[in-house]
Amino acid sequence: MTRTTSPDAQRFDTLLVANRGEIACRVMRTARRMGLRTVAVYSDADANARHVREADEAVRLGPAAARESYLNLEAVVEAARRTGAGAIHPGYGFLSENGAFVEALDAAGITFVGPPASAIAAMGDKSAAKARMHDAGVPLVPGYHGEGQDDALLRNEADRIGYPVLLKASAGGGGKGMRVVESSDGFQAALDGCRRESRSAFGDDRMLIEKYLVQPRHVEVQVFCDAHGNGVYLFERDCSVQRRHQKVLEEAPAPGMTEELRREMGEAAVRAAREIGYVGAGTVEFLLDVDGSFYFMEMNTRLQVEHPVTEMITGQDLVEWQLRVAMGERLPLAQDELTITGHSFEARLYAEDPEQDFLPATGTLNCFGMDLDGAGLEAKRVRLDSGVETGDVVSMHYDPMLAKLIVHGDDRAQALATLNRALAALDVRGVVTNRGFLQRLATHPDFRDAKLDTRFIERHEDTLFAERRVAPEEYAAAALIGLHQLARECESDSPWDRHDGFRLNAPHTIRIALCAPELSQGPAQDTDDAESVTVVEGKREGQGSPWQLTLNGQDLSATYAATLEPLEGDAVGVTLDGHRRRIQTRRDDNVVVMVDPQRETRLFWRRIDAIDHGHHEAESTLTAPMHGTVVALLVEAGARVEKGMPLMVMEAMKMEHTMTAPADGHVESFHFAAGDTVGQGDVLLAFAADE
């Protein structure tokens, strides 16, 4: 296709990115390659963030709270004026789908790298959008999209549609203000929670209701339109693996997609975009049922988090397309010039604890990187889009996503194998992440066989969250790795400075306690607790001879001849009785982390004589698991409660978290009220358990 420019288009040489984190860094990377000067904006919490460090200029917007900084459209527009930015790229989230922001930029003569305000408005109100899609001949899921918002009316509509139903914020997205309701009895509580989240995230608590399909796949189509009337689809992505309606793993193309179905969905997506006069990059999301029927869900009028998998299979830079279209150029390629090459996966790396209901985590990144050499990976097959570096602080104020890991393969099987090796190559220390959970997902037999639906995680909860018994070989490997790392920390030749068990005129002997990190405080450290602690003795009779490792514990007894060989990067070769394994390893404080393409194993490692055998009594208090805000107190002080009963609701990182009673008993007092800000570790309430 010949590239031409609209005569009234405004070209620009300076781009302000009105966002933060990985998407800000990613947009600036393309902008710099195109010769544009880049401007970052930041809140007080992000004054030293990576996107600020990488920009040519940066302007402070305000305090840490998003509504006072990244959502302050007047401050963003003023930052553009101050730096001479001719265009603003909104990234995703924040102001990316705010029509008033686009209108403010139009009034200021600043180009918005995205669709016109009218298109955003058309799709921003999901109820009105459904009506327009019906007129455009785009298939819809049965539901209620009306203006009436009375609680009783909504409940009656849900009863009419038939349960289960999906409650969704009309102005929402990203899983905020969304609940699955299984029965009429639970409708009001779900509605109240959705309204609270929607008001907090979008300032709008209107709801729509849809029939909840039991086993659908989430398949979305990347569309692109220019101001000259051209529109194309850059194929589809499968985003079925989700938790809390937020995507975790995405892939392109969607497995099992026929050419006919791909064309039907792609053409329907382009019709949807044309219906609202769309310009720029957009994503039309569909539910794909088991019988091949597909239904329009919504259109995201911005660049998606998962756009890199589309870039990987098409060879196109979608941010470059956005910038060129914003400059008035025609689309770089026509539909028949676009092709699919290979397969791609994206895994979202979050600072969160999957074992604690995906509780967001905060802290300082003591290390953040990727060891491609140690994993034996080609750089052209792996891409890490991140907004953080070693030393950065993960705060409570924003979404906990640290990075996106994107891989490419000649086919799905090769891409999946690369994903598993790349996950093992990630080195993240200082905060809890979902890396181990991503590995369990990516190695699950049903994921490998592409047996996907939007309830994949829920359906496989028993296996994805099952307690994995650590094999004797992993205890032995951890002991050997701990010894090796301890020896490396002391480079002195003096035997008096060594930490590897050296004794004058005697074999090297050292006794080690190993257990899971969550058991490494309190009674679990006691060597009498055979379920969690194994004693390892190492004896080496000469230089170059293998260690003799003896494991002792309940149902755990073995002896190995063991050697360790340092390899590329942070990889080591561990040999136990002639069986050699390549493992990527690192030390995170006193935890030995071992990762291979199948799993992650973390074991607390300590000299046995350094263990504190004191037993800690459980406190009758509940503490805040993260920084956040108290949303609601659900019981009165002095109330009698049963184990598991909801006591209070906290909000952090745009999501609500319900604190429940740890046992039968009563609440003695609350230490905070609704609206109060709390810090991680703050005692929230005093609780008296029954005797």
For 633-652, write each residue's pLDDT tens digit: 999 999 999 988 999 988 76
> What pLDDT was estimated at residue 171?
84
> What pLDDT was estimated at residue 443?
95
Mean pLDDT of 274-291: 95
DSSP three-state, residue 169: strand
Mean pLDDT of 522-528: 38
Phi, psi of 268 (to 5 degrees): -65, -40
> What pLDDT was estimated at residue 349?
97
Q: What digits encode the pLDDT tens for the residues 133-166?
A: 989 999 998 889 888 999 999 999 999 998 999 9
| C-alpha dist (Å) from residue 5 to 30, 168, 327, 691 | 20, 40, 7, 78
With a cut of 60, say whether residue 497 has pLDDT above it. Answer: no
Say which residue, 581 or 591, is predicted with more confidence: 581
* Partners of 420 in beta bridges: none
With a cut of 60, say whether residue 653 has pLDDT above it. Answer: no
Element of type H or E holding 266: helix 259-275
- Measured CA to CA, the distance from residue 380 to residue 244 in angstroms comes to 33
- Measured CA to CA, the distance from residue 403 to residue 389 in angstroms comes to 10
> What pLDDT was estimated at residue 607?
65
With a cut of 70, say whether residue 185 has pLDDT above it. Answer: yes
- Measured CA to CA, the distance from residue 140 to residue 131 in angstroms comes to 9
> What pLDDT was estimated at residue 480?
86
pLDDT-derived band at 8 (thresholds 50, 70, 90) equals low
Q: Length of the chain in residues, anyone? A: 691
> What pLDDT was estimated at residue 321?
98
> What pLDDT was estimated at residue 625?
67
The residues carrying an active-site annotation are: 302
- Shortest CA distance to 351 belongs to which of 383, 399, 385? 399
> What pLDDT was estimated at residue 650?
85
> What pLDDT was estimated at residue 523?
33
* Average pLDDT of every residue of the chain: 87
With a cut of 90, say whether residue 101 has pLDDT above it. Answer: yes
> What pLDDT was estimated at residue 273?
97
Which residues make Cβ contacts (< 8 Å) with residue 518, sequence separation at least 6? 355
- Shortest CA distance to 662 belongs to which of 635, 683, 642? 642
Which residues make Cβ contacts (< 8 Å) with residue 135, sequence separation at least 6? 275
Mean pLDDT of 247-276: 97
The per-residue b/e assignment along 284-320, b for 16 or more CB within 10 angstroms, e otherwise, is bbbbbbeeeebbbbbbbbbbbbbbbbbbbbbebbbbe
Q: What digits encode the pLDDT tens for the residues 553-584?
A: 666 778 888 999 999 888 999 999 999 999 99
- Measured CA to CA, the distance from residue 594 to residue 556 in angstroms comes to 20
Mean pLDDT of 548-556: 76
pLDDT-derived band at 540 (thresholds 50, 70, 90) equals low
With a cut of 50, say whether residue 380 has pLDDT above it. Answer: yes
> What pLDDT was estimated at residue 621?
57
* Partners of 37 in beta bridges: 14
With a cut of 50, say whether residue 26 has pLDDT above it. Answer: yes
> What pLDDT was estimated at residue 623?
77
Q: Which of 97-106, 272-281, 680-689 has the lowest mean pLDDT?
A: 680-689
Torsion-angle region of 24 (φ positive above 0: left; ψ -120 to 50: alpha; else: beta): alpha
